[in-house]
């Protein structure tokens, strides 16, 4: 970072400047208020570190001018014991921190590192919010991945038709949200959207929920009740988990889909409805047809326009956007953030529960987060072996030259072990000349057993070795 350092004590200015530069910062120095104000105007520092007591108007004037030029620029005040009250007052004017003299240079370096981390988080959050705004497909659905863009295109294409839609996807992938999007994009959008999970009710109650019942149809039927088909008249009926629908109910559903008419449970009057039907399944219905647990004729009735909703693990690049979206949804008025290393772990986790599991994780993280409003990995990810591969992103990587050298040494060691250290056999196994092998063993500090033929010397070698060496170098 580019730091404006202001102090009239040259000892502090010089030593702290050297420490900051050693830590990788670019430092602009000033010894009085006037030169500091000039540096603010022309040097465009990212952070200001200034003493409170200075020749001229002092550090508070520098703080005020810095806030005027850039309200987001952090200012750290250095203060003597007698001016702590001044520093506290200055923080009310916009300073982010203050340190009391005398202090260790490492203290300032640590404060700057914390500011840099916070700046990185804020920059990342801004980037994610911008991407989130660009990637919103429909209400409550985000995704910039290619597979999700394909889903959005499919929804927009088929929404205006009256065809029955089959949404297939694992649990937690958001099938009901896609069904809602189909409804919202259709000409029925001002009419009811009625969802029903076929897995939530036993067979008898499921039929009553679907078709309604007449008064006295069964013991607890004290009055007439409309079913979901009637309630959805003019709009869209969404049947989730149709794979859990019992076979007898499948027969009755097939008739409604064919005729768009039905009788209530315990009734004889034919009721006609004008509805769009969207169904969803978490398993492959074709396998259920082969197993005899789903009717073949019903399958072809609902499998008119399929929409395949991908699991979260296949939505490359969508996890950071979803994290930002879910923090906005569940975080209230607070601004929440996730460290970059933690975001990398979230992006690599398998998410067997898909978006629903991620949403639960974000809600848990918000509930457990500290006052800094930063979500941590231990609160977001499960403590089990499923995500052992989701380790933190390292701060740096080894130079490629060193990595290649280490790999070559390991390979040479393995070849020596396989040949019992016999250099000629080792060279043949590796497909190189004995001279090249000798040079590599020397470079890596590795040995080998002496052969009948002496190792080639630097000033001469036999023609066979020379030819082989030339081939190795070609």
What class is the 313-387 domain? mainly alpha
Listed in order, the ranges of the chain carrying CATH 3.40.50.2300 are: 2-103
pLDDT recorded at residue 118: 75
Q: List residues bridging with 194 in a β-sheet.
A: 237
Cβ–Cβ < 8 Å for 403, 435: no
Mean pLDDT by 10 residues, the chain (474 residues): 89 89 90 89 89 85 88 85 62 78 86 81 64 57 87 90 93 93 92 92 84 72 83 95 93 90 83 94 94 94 93 90 89 86 86 93 90 86 58 60 84 84 86 88 74 44 41 36
Listed in order, the ranges of the chain carrying CATH 1.10.8.60 are: 313-387
pLDDT recorded at residue 451: 53
Structure tokens at 308: 């395949």
pLDDT recorded at residue 419: 82
What class is the 146-309 domain? alpha beta
Between CA 193 and CA 181 the distance in angstroms is 10
pLDDT recorded at residue 174: 92
**pTM for the whole structure:** 0.56
**For tokens 């500090």, what's the residue?**
445
Structure tokens at 44: 């465009």
Which CATH architecture does the domain made up of 2-103 adopt?
Answer: 3-Layer(aba) Sandwich (3.40)
User: Topology of 400-473 in CATH?
Assistant: Arc Repressor Mutant, subunit A (1.10.10)
Residue 31 DSSP class: S
Find the helix packing angle between 146-158 and 175-185, rounded to 10°.
40
């Amino acid at each position: 970072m580019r730091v404006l350092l202001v102090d009239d004590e040259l000892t502090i200015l010089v030593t702290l400047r050297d420490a900051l530069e050693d830590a990788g910062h670019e430092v602009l120095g000033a010894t009085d208020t006037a030169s500091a104000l000039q540096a603010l105007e022309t040097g465009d520092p990212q952070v200001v570190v200034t003493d409170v007591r200075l020749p001229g108007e002092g550090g508070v004037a520098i703080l005020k001018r810095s806030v005027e030029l850039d309200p987001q620029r952090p200012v750290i005040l250095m203060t003597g014991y007698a001016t702590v009250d001044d520093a506290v007052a200055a923080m009310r004017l916009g300073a982010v921190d203050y340190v009391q003299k005398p202090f260790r240079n490492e203290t300032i370096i640590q404060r700057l590192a914390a500011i840099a981390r916070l700046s990185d988080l804020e920059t990342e959050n801004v980037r994610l919010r911008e991407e989130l705004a660009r990637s919103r497909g429909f209400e409550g659905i985000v995704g910039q991945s290619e597979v999700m863009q394909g889903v959005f295109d499919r929804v927009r294409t088929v929404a205006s038709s009256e065809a029955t839609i089959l949404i297939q996807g694992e649990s937690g992938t958001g099938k009901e949200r896609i069904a809602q999007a189909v409804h919202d994009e259709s000409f029925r959008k001002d009419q009811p959207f009625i969802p029903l999970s076929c897995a939530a009710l036993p067979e008898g109650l499921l039929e009553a929920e679907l078709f309604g019942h007449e008064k006295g149809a069964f013991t607890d039927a004290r009055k007439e009740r409309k079913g979901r088909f009637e309630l959805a008249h003019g709009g869209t009926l969404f049947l989730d988990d149709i794979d859990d629908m019992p076979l007898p109910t499948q027969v009755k559903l097939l008739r409604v889909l064919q005729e768009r008419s039905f009788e209530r449970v315990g009734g004889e009057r034919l009721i006609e409805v004008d509805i769009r039907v969207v169904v969803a399944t978490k398993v492959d219905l074709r396998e259920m047809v082969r197993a005899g647990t789903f009717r073949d004729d019903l399958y072809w009735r609902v499998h008119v326009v399929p929409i395949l909703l991908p699991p979260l693990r296949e939505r490359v690049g969508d996890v950071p956007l979803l994290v930002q979206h879910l923090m906005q949804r569940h975080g209230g008025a607070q601004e929440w953030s996730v460290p970059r290393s933690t975001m990398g772990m979230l992006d690599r986790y398998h998410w067997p529960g898909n978006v629903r599991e991620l949403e639960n994780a974000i809600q848990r993280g918000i509930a457990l987060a500290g006052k800094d409003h930063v979500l941590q990995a231990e609160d977001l990810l499960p403590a089990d072996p499923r995500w052992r591969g989701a380790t933190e992103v390292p701060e740096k990587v080894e130079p490629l030259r060193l990595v290649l050298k280490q790999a070559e040494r390991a390979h040479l060691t393995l070849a020596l072990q396989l040949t019992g250290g016999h250099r000629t056999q080792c060279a043949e196994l590796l497909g190189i000349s004995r001279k090249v092998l000798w040079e590599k063993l020397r470079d890596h500090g590795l040995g080998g057993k002496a052969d009948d033929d002496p190792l080639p010397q630097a000033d001469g070698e036999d023609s066979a070795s020379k030819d082989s060496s030339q081939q190795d170098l070609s």
